[in-house]
Structure 1
């Protein structure tokens, strides 16, 4: 079997050899949308993003964003083909909405405006008959229909913060975030029960239902983190935003619990599992390092155990560049924590020193020999641990901002976006 990297490269070569930017086809759009499933793990996020935006324009030129909801087609061969074409178009557009709107927190912008399309959600239908079933009936479209509902919150989230050049006050922004939080919780309450809780009877007859339920739990938890992301770092130092802190810590534990179950069951792994496990581990690192001599300290061993277990799971994914990047980040935070504690104060945890984390991460990334995409083959990615790698000097990496001014967006995106950009 060709490797994922070989298949991705073959897709890109095929697109360009077919002049996909001139010879517009829904197959090109489908190829790009599907490739997202592996692009991030291969360290090709920026390439995927530029291909995706080209795919959006192709889809709009093909009219996929304006598929009308016609009455049921007659039961003829032509009628069936028309129904299939419309449903394929809806499914493709649905995936594009999910991918575009879920990326909003990383760029503060989006390519598909909610006001500029009329294509509805895919039918809640299976392939063999495309009969629209009630929401409480599991079909192969149930999972993505829920995801597109969650994605629909994201444009309003970023727009409600005010124009990028003139953001609203912190108070107004936080009030807006809390309103979006409530909308998110209302959507979760309306999710069909079989996607929220284990159902042994249904899962025995529907092979994909278990992994869909677990993946949805991970994605929904990560979305609540995305909603609070603007105030996430502040929430660990300012009691005004304690709701965000508690919400995000709980969501992080949910992500790591579901991630552990998926790995233990050797179930299907998709790129979001890796990406969101990294986010969750970093948040718990914040929690561990922020808690001082307070009653909350009782939870520190539990959080630390969860982070270490996540690091071990990520380190076992030898061909996953994103996972190895996450391992280096977690190790960097641990080194900063250990080196920041002097002998007389070993029992007192200190806040994360971002300067030191950046420096450690830079060195660990080099030490782990994270390769270029052309060199990505299983077994070539090494992983270091805090026990085997010495902490570098803080002055190795010069920062553009003061530690007090760093927020979670700048910090997290600066690490991962800089990496993906440098690999192109």
Structure 2
């Protein structure tokens, strides 16, 4: 049969498929005209059950959808710093930029256009130095001094020519990655000091990001494996998220992880020689692990198994001599070391949740890792979170980033239960915790806009997540509605002022739509106008002030269409008016919203023990009865409303 098909003319091969497709199209058209076909779906009761389960799944998925709308074989026994390095190279600096002659000659012609993307050498030097001074502390993907020496050689010995025979295109990819991060994350004043206008900044940031991919592809990086490609990809993360390339970056990081494993970066334990190359490898591997583990709440899986990751943590050391420094001395690795310790909790939490067979035990895992995260920021508090007399310029930025990121991870730990926390008092602790964490994030973001520091993608992404949390609290519970709406409104205003950030622009639009829907609960109105506002927003409120009926499914569809069709300003309202709400009774959680997470603007701290409502030995007292009444489809879903909203905020990041 396969031979006959292969020998048949193209028309004969495709004709049956076309007939089958046309027949399927006709059947589909007829079935739509005639209404639902219960012969294929089952009985009427079964169809109704399927519809209800789909609706419930939408409710639980709501938050993830919204956040995502704002975001788009070789093995070596020992660690190889550069598998494509010139064997005749005598120094580590030259090894970084050199490649074997003739390996890429066939591809050089297509790279000439990349040369015109490079600014003059003085500007390139300024952009790279800014990255070393102001951004490297955030990711630590390469060794700063080594890279700058390689840059000097690039101009001194090769005239800054990308197509020079001895230049390794994977090093050029790293160069463009460094440039893309600097121009994307630089403040307005800093970018202006380099001579770039707003339009040129927006254009070059994307062109330089694309140049990274071009250089990697031209170098055949998946076959010619080198630590340079891993460094380029890891460094690219901070600009890729800002520019709306999150989906593409996730794939690149997966490739970089496998290359790093092939090079042995996961086996750099304490027995390894203490050299700059080995230390740079540890830093890079730590960053790849951190990014992989922090993606777990979104993907519900991870690529790197911690069991087989034997590399030691990056050293707290002098960057040149590698001499160890006391823990209280802030270095370029301080922030990454702290973030790595938080990231290591995520695969353990995921395993704990997946290994638990009951909803009760799944929530016990959440509470357990909530306490462990708080312990990292209190009992095991790193020294750089406190001011010191002599600290590097980036220390205040690191403290702010730590406050925002750790608060966001609190929300991520509770993510599976966040949506239910608005409707079930068994999870009041989750609701109060996430609201307090959200307030911390928005406070830090507001203060970050008042300083001339780097613009980090987490400021925008995590502020959107925090604002979604507050909006959901307004819609479900109505507690502190005016204060929450004020904070979200201020955040939208700040996001609208951000330039060259897809996360900010899409997040502002999404939050604007959500804010409109909350006006029914935040604006003083007469009974008649309040009822009309509820109906226009797609909601109805029962006579009992403690209950609210929210058609979250219609809300999600409306917001999704609004994000896909930005020219339609009234999409949310139009869709809400034409959909018959499915009334889902929700019970208001208690009104207590103490600020359990706190930050003084520079230092992250937790003001109180947040576990007092769920003590370690009695964490679920009285909650099991409430859990037993949860709808099976609602409680058993693997997704959540908060996560759905996040997904909605990122899934069209290229638009």
Shorter-chain TM-score: what band? Answer: 0.7 to 0.9
1:6-405 → structure 2 map (5 Å cutoff): 6-70=207-271, 83-162=275-354, 168-192=357-381, 194-197=383-386, 199=387, 201-202=389-390, 205-292=391-478, 297=479, 299-338=480-519, 343-345=529-531, 350=548, 353-368=551-566, 391-394=573-576, 405=634
Structure 2 distance, partners of 1:147, 1:171, is 29
Gap change, CA 1:350 and 1:143, over 3 Å in 2: same
Gap change, CA 1:412 and 1:366, over 3 Å in 2: closer
Structure 2 distance, partners of 1:152, 1:17, is 35
SS of 1:150's partner is: helix
Superimposed CA distance per residue, residues 308-356 of structure 1 (whole angstroms, 9 cap, x where no aligned partner) = 1111111122321111221122122123334799624579795654234
Superimposed CA distance per residue, residues 334-391 of structure 1 (whole angstroms, 9 cap, x where no aligned partner) = 233347996245797956542343244234324546xxxxxxxxxxxxx97xxx8872
Structure 2 distance, partners of 1:21, 1:350, is 54
How far has the Cα of 1:283 moved from its partner? 0.5
Gap change, CA 1:396 and 1:315, over 3 Å in 2: farther
Count residues in correspondence: 384
Structure 2 distance, partners of 1:390, 1:107, is 28
In structure 2, list runs of 5 or more residues that go unmatched. Answer: 1-195, 535-544, 586-632
TM-score (norm 1): 0.83
Note if 1:411 corresponds to 2:644.
yes
In structure 1, list runs of 5 or more residues that go unmatched. Answer: 74-81, 370-382
Match of 1:372 in 2: none
Gap change, CA 1:131 and 1:259, over 3 Å in 2: same
SS of 2:353's partner is: coil
Structure 1 distance, partners of 2:530, 2:278, is 68
Structure 1 distance, partners of 2:490, 2:401, is 19
- Structure showing greater Rg: 2
SS of 1:258's partner is: helix
Structure 2 distance, partners of 1:211, 1:201, is 16
Q: RMSD over aligned Cα, in angstroms?
A: 2.9
Gap change, CA 1:194 and 1:368, over 3 Å in 2: farther
